[in-house]
């Protein structure tokens, strides 16, 4: 597998019910197929300053520019598991993502200063981000079950369904169990449509017929709001 390291696309989000999801999966036949990860549990650790400066700037209105740094694994990770260090930026509705692949042990050593990232442009951007924000460290753990698909006739069209989204601000490790506070109702799924251009006509027709409308929803942003409310 040679994972993609840079992304530039639109990411459109929708809340759908489980029955709407099942109806969509029927439409996927001969149109969409599971991606290389298929159905998986995704673990994320988001990095921020002690006062959550990064996410506070991201959820401010209006926020023309947003950025986040996270470490991601597909399932529970041990030292040798491949993980992805991702710098995600959003400018005027366009999402830009830079991603490095490394082992979980290397990722841990990077944040303690005992491992240097390879000399690449993406590494330079991540290093700059890390030095820009004083005291950056793991702040929250967010995990969910994801089913991912891409269009048979256009691999740039991806659709994902995230369910059982949970968060916590303790035991911030990818080598841990999936548990925490529920972020959305158990009967709902967060669908993300990721495209370089317009979305397929058949999907537009389905959304219109079922009165499904685009929403603005950040997993990390809503987790931060939950933490602030709890305090």
Query: What sign does the CA torsion over 84, 99, 33, 21 have?
Result: positive
Residue 1 belongs to some domain of the structure? no
How many domains does the chain fold into? 1
**133, 4, 21, 14 alpha-carbon torsion, rounded to 10°:** 40
- pLDDT by residue for the chain (231 residues), tens only, comes to 455 677 788 899 999 999 999 999 999 999 999 988 779 999 999 999 999 999 999 998 777 789 999 999 999 999 999 999 999 998 888 899 999 999 999 999 999 999 999 999 999 999 999 999 999 999 999 999 999 999 999 888 999 999 999 999 999 999 999 999 999 999 999 999 999 888 999 999 999 999 999 999 999 999 999 999 986
| Domain span at 99 | 6-230
From residue 97, alpha-carbon distances to 41, 63, 79, 126, 171 in Å are 20, 18, 24, 11, 26
Inside any domain, residue 200: yes
Residue 210 maps to which CATH number? 3.20.100.30
CB of 52 within 8 A of CB of 138? no
Q: Is residue 115 part of a domain?
A: yes
Sign of CA dihedral 178, 184, 186, 192: negative
* 60 belongs to a structural domain: yes
Which residues neighbour 192 within 8 Å (Cβ) at sequence distance 6 or greater?
11, 12, 13, 14, 158, 159, 160, 162
Is 14 inside a domain boundary? yes
- In-domain check, residue 75: yes
Q: What is the per-residue pLDDT for 4?
A: 63
């Amino acid at each position: 597998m040679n994972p993609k390291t840079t992304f530039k696309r639109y990411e459109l989000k929708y809340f759908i019910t489980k029955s709407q999801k099942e109806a969509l999966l029927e439409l996927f036949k001969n149109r969409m197929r599971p991606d290389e990860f298929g159905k998986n549990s995704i673990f994320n650790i988001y990095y921020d300053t002690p006062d959550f400066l990064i996410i506070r700037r991201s959820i401010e209105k209006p926020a023309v520019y947003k950025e986040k740094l996270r470490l991601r694994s597909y399932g529970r990770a041990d030292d040798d598991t491949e993980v992805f260090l991702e710098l995600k930026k959003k400018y005027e509705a366009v999402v830009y993502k830079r991603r490095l692949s490394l082992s979980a042990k290397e990722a841990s050593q990077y944040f303690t200063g005992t491992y240097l990232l390879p000399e690449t442009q993406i590494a330079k951007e991540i290093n700059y981000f890390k030095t820009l924000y004083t005291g950056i460290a793991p702040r929250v753990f967010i995990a969910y079950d994801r089913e991912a698909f891409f269009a048979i006739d256009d691999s740039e069209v991806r659709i994902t369904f995230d369910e059982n989204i949970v968060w916590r601000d303790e035991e911030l490790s990818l080598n841990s169990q999936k548990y925490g506070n529920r972020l959305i109702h158990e009967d709902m799924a967060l669908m993300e449509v990721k495209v370089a251009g317009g979305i397929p006509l058949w999907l537009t027709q389905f959304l219109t017929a079922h009165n499904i409308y685009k929403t603005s929803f950040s997993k990390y942003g809503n987790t931060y709001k939950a933490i602030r409310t709890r305090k």
